Structure 1
């Protein structure tokens, strides 16, 4: 109900109320080099799995064709994969298929770095667009297999197109370089009968309008800010959000009290989901410290308590 912009019986949790499927090949790396099928090297730390900024997968953008080895999707045993997912899933929960996390924007950047990746938009637009088109075709092909074998309620896709101060790209760049390809991905998701959830970190500003225009059903925007609040007030429950919790507030500071953390859950729900259309997510509290673990426990417990009654009042 929340995913369709309705006012549900309680505030659902993105983590607790879903079965999440993701194809294994996104996480597979060469045991010797730590690189994936795009030759991006990944490192594990307290913040999660991040690309190694010291590593260049390619020296020049036009090398992507001989470097990227897209997995052969037809060779995978999708029937067995689907059966394993079904056995591990709770039939009472929503099925979410993770199409990708890094996508047509971030993959080229992760391969050649932020400076060269952004400069390529202006210096090598035809080559960059050819690469973007190839990634898009691969993602669309994955969607077809997801539809045939996994039958998800929601397909999760996205790209981190924005930083704290705003989008990395202009409206003009979005229009000519990225919008047609993101739209193609969203249309493929709808064709298999699933809702499209789009993740984007940062202050998305004008991109929120664009996400809705290309057909995104759920916007996973884990960075609450004034711009997001304005868009929520403008669109109401047409803008369905996954997120709400402010991971930059005092509740996220080291040593924040239980009272402050619990109150932050009320604030998130009241601000972004008072009439529904909110799938609560803490934005990914990271770290293994005792402080982080306590925060996660308090947030989840308060979501269970307040989230169960807020729509009944």
Structure 2
């Protein structure tokens, strides 16, 4: 097997005697042509206005703005982007030109999932209230967003051809779900199934990104067929979930990103200690990728150094 083929065994839930590291073993892209969230601020291709927030080093929907004012009128208010108007072949060739498809895993992020797109369009309050007040209109809007996302997945599969598609949709706050499990089932479970099935049809591994506390949904995410999960924030019972599912799901993350790597004034000793802690807890059994998803990245050189000191020892457990 090539080095890439060996690394991909981790996404088949194997123990390869080594813990892959996102910063050294992956080629990563978030397709620049997909204007879901302009990083420096401005308007996305749905007409939502974003502004860059230095405190989180990322854009957020501009306060006081709302693209969709009446969900019952969404067909008249919204215009979905015309994905046929791009030279995707040329765009993909340029963006993937430096990918090392023999020695590294190719990994593409698709941000602003179905739930995230609803609250980007109308705000959190309206997106959540619509589940109770206008369920029929919300179902129709979700169906349209899902169709659009499936078209994007087909484009990514055909032209970019990554090994892993990491699709984002945050369902949790730091310590609880943003909606009940029943509401998630009613509105988002089957649309997510469609995305996962299309990803697999396109020959890609499906990694689901969902920040926060998502443990109550984990069994159902596995049922839907996710191949991997990130970022596994520490409010979740991560080792318990891994013991149950490491033969079906690859675990990506599991670090105390807020409390250590993104902490103002974090020391080198703290970075090294947290890096070893996660390896000791989550590397045994394989099916694990080291990827601390953070706001700041000053810690990365120390992290890589400490990780590579132990990636084989812990990987063999």
Specify which of 295, 301, 308 is matched with residue 297 of structure 1. Answer: 301
CA deviation after TM superposition for structure 1 residue 54, in Å: 2.4
**Runs of at least 4 residues off by over 6 Å:** none
Q: Is 1:240 the counterpart of 2:240 in the alignment?
A: no
Q: Cα–Cα, structure 1 residues 22 and 253, in superposed 2: closer, same or farther, change >3 Å?
A: closer
Residue 193 of structure 1 aligns to a residue whose secondary structure is coil
CA deviation after TM superposition for structure 1 residue 102, in Å: 1.0
- Matched residue, 1:41: 49
CA deviation after TM superposition for structure 1 residue 106, in Å: 1.2
Task: Judge conservation of contact 1:218–1:242 (CA < 8 Å) in 2.
Answer: yes
Specify which of 142, 149, 161 is matched with residue 152 of structure 2. Answer: 142
Task: Judge conservation of contact 2:165–2:206 (CA < 8 Å) in 1.
Answer: yes
CA deviation after TM superposition for structure 1 residue 226, in Å: 4.5
Q: Is 1:102 the counterpart of 2:112 in the alignment?
A: yes
Give 5+ residue unaligned stretches, structure 1. Answer: 287-291
- Matched residue, 2:4: none
Specify which of 16, 24, 28 is matched with residue 20 of structure 1. Answer: 28
Please list, as runs of the form range in 1=range in 2, the aligned pairs for 1:1-313 lying within 5 A after superposition. Answer: 1-27=9-35, 34-46=42-54, 47=56, 48-91=58-101, 92-98=103-109, 100-250=110-260, 252-286=262-296, 293=298, 295-312=299-316
> d(CA) in 1 for partners of 2:311 and 2:37?
39
Q: Cα–Cα, structure 1 residues 66 and 14, in superposed 2: closer, same or farther, change >3 Å?
A: farther
CA deviation after TM superposition for structure 1 residue 124, in Å: 0.6
Task: Tell me the TM-score normalised to structure 2 length.
Answer: 0.88
CA deviation after TM superposition for structure 1 residue 131, in Å: 0.8
**Deviation readout 1:114-136 (Å, 9 max, x if unpaired):** 11110001101111111110110
Q: Cα–Cα, structure 1 residues 312 and 276, in superposed 2: closer, same or farther, change >3 Å?
A: closer
> d(CA) in 2 for partners of 1:246 and 1:82?
34
Judge which range, 295-304 or 190-199, deviates more: 295-304
Task: Judge conservation of contact 1:222–1:246 (CA < 8 Å) in 2.
Answer: no
> d(CA) in 1 for partners of 2:118 and 2:315?
44
> d(CA) in 1 for partners of 2:314 and 2:47?
48
CA deviation after TM superposition for structure 1 residue 216, in Å: 0.4
Task: Tell me the TM-score normalised to structure 1 length.
Answer: 0.89
Judge which range, 139-148 or 57-66, deviates more: 57-66
Q: Cα–Cα, structure 1 residues 69 and 29, in superposed 2: closer, same or farther, change >3 Å?
A: farther
CA deviation after TM superposition for structure 1 residue 23, in Å: 3.1
Q: Cα–Cα, structure 1 residues 310 and 228, in superposed 2: closer, same or farther, change >3 Å?
A: closer
Q: How many residues align?
A: 304
Task: Judge conservation of contact 2:112–2:168 (CA < 8 Å) in 1.
Answer: yes
Residue 196 of structure 1 aligns to a residue whose secondary structure is strand
Residue 106 of structure 2 aligns to a residue whose secondary structure is strand
CA deviation after TM superposition for structure 1 residue 68, in Å: 3.2
> d(CA) in 2 for partners of 1:300 and 1:285?
17
**Deviation readout 1:41-83 (Å, 9 max, x if unpaired):** 1111231122223221122113432343322222211221222
> d(CA) in 2 for partners of 1:236 and 1:86?
30
